[in-house]
Structure 1
Amino acid sequence: MSRSAPQSAVSRPRRGWAAGMSRPVTILTVDLEDWFHVLDNEATRGEVQWRRFATRLPEATAALLAQFSRHGVQATFFVLGWVAARYPEVVATVAGEGHEIACHSDMHQLVYEQTPQAFRADLAAAVKHIEAATGIRPTAYRAPGFSITRATPWAFDVLADLGFDTDCSIFPAPRAHGGFAGYGAGGPAMLRTPSGRRLRELPINYARVLGQPLVYGGGGYFRLVPGAVGRWLVRRQAYNMTYFHLRDFDSGQPMIPGLSRVRRFKSYVGIRGAAAKLDRLLDSGEVMTLGAAAATIDWDRVRIVDLAEGQAR
């Protein structure tokens, strides 16, 4: 495992400093899915519904890759197996440009609505499709909607069974899909699964503003939070996990049918200015892939979250 860098590697003090970290990290990640992969909405529930919509994925992916190339940055792409099976050339291009490949499930369904057997089958299918498209077997995973919760700790054992060593599914603040109660402040940890295996966890993070958790690093949160505020928070925190989608930057996408007024606001607020906001974030400091960030952390020193006991130490 990677050992801590000398203290001189820290350029400035930041809040949210976590055990095992010797330098600040801002992790750049993308959930590679199409504009219609929206959860908790009957019109976009599954493949039967998805077939009704025209893809925007190839062009939107190319635009984001070009933006990353202009800034000379690499990202981690959490790829849907469904996408890899249908657009293998797109996923191969992402890998070919040096970006890290990870897994975002096969069929983009909420984990807490699945049985362990269904989750295992979906995960195995995703690995198969991603590996066929890229020649890479992913070892990092993020659940759709961050939908691994305290009620589904078995999911981490399934991940370990299928060769995953890193998870990015924990959302440590309240949200529509549940969040992960009791995790504590967002930061790296070692998960001890119910069966006693270990997985590295790199979760979403948040900042406390007026005593309340504020997520600012991805999706609708990124689009809603003013850019200057978001960049200030990134500079202030030692650990930042971003998570973007193609639809966060695609101002020409159609309106998803069936969304409530609140969901429409969350889904479309700030899209027109999001690419420029991302440019300024990428200009403001160093970003890195998941693997690069994990290599800077001394995993022997991070806190342990024991899922069997429901405790952290």
Structure 2
Amino acid sequence: MTQATAAAAGPLAHAAAGRPARKKSTYPYYFLLLPALIYFIFFILPTLTSFYYSFTRWDLFTAEWIGLDNYRTFFQEQALLTGLKNTLIYAVITSGLKVVLGLGLAMLLTSKIIAKGYLRSVIFFPVLVSSIGIGLTFTILMNPERGLINSTLGTIGIGGPGWLTDPNLALYSVAIVDIWKGVGLATVIFIAGLVSIPGEYYEAAALDGANKWQTFRNIMLPLSRPAMASVITLSFIGGLRSFDLIWAMTKGGPGFASDVLASVIYKQYQAGFYGLSTAGNVVLFLLVTIIMVPLTRWLNRAQEA
């Protein structure tokens, strides 16, 4: 630096050095106060309250501390354990098939086919319909004697099963309806992931002589991982927390064959066992957390790899 430059910069540098450091403004954080208060009132506080009441025998007016008795009863009741097992089976089946079918439909609906926009609307439409409405409709369609499904099978000489009355089929029948209802959302998410892949990748693959399977395995599948992670996360959480469709179609029956954890909790609440049902809610909350936290981390690592 020349003497003239140093002389010119000297006063400015001296002024900057003598100026007090600007304090970081807290003003932007004020906008977080209202959301934080709402989150505390409607999520943190009810969660902590639920944890407390799960250790009590309570009604609407009194609460008696009983320690871990509710949890002991929960894991000793056969119906509750059946509901826990069915919850895991239901979540795995529905989320797995939504991923597979959603990806397949997304590939079809991003290819060069006729009426592509219309078909996308048709596939997504069940997502917009109430689960209760769909459940009541399929209860009629799956009626073993007068339902349209068995009547159609009967015209071709096939005796239809008791979709919702057979203990071995009831849970899987509801899962099929859940998949039909929810696959549209998975398809839309996968479509968004597929159309975001730059066309240069496909052009390079075509120049290298890659066939359709190689293009899918090496381009479409790896680059759609963010969409796949979203579908797996949403579908699995929805499967673990499923209640309305199962309740509308079977109410957990026949017997306890299609009971999931949420329906068992609701039945306990209806029977007046409020402490036991609260303990079941805590178990469901912990189950979702224990499964989804490591699964989400694994999906994020696989996505970054």
TM-score (norm 1): 0.23
The structure richer in strand per residue is 1
Larger radius of gyration between Structure 1 and Structure 2: 2
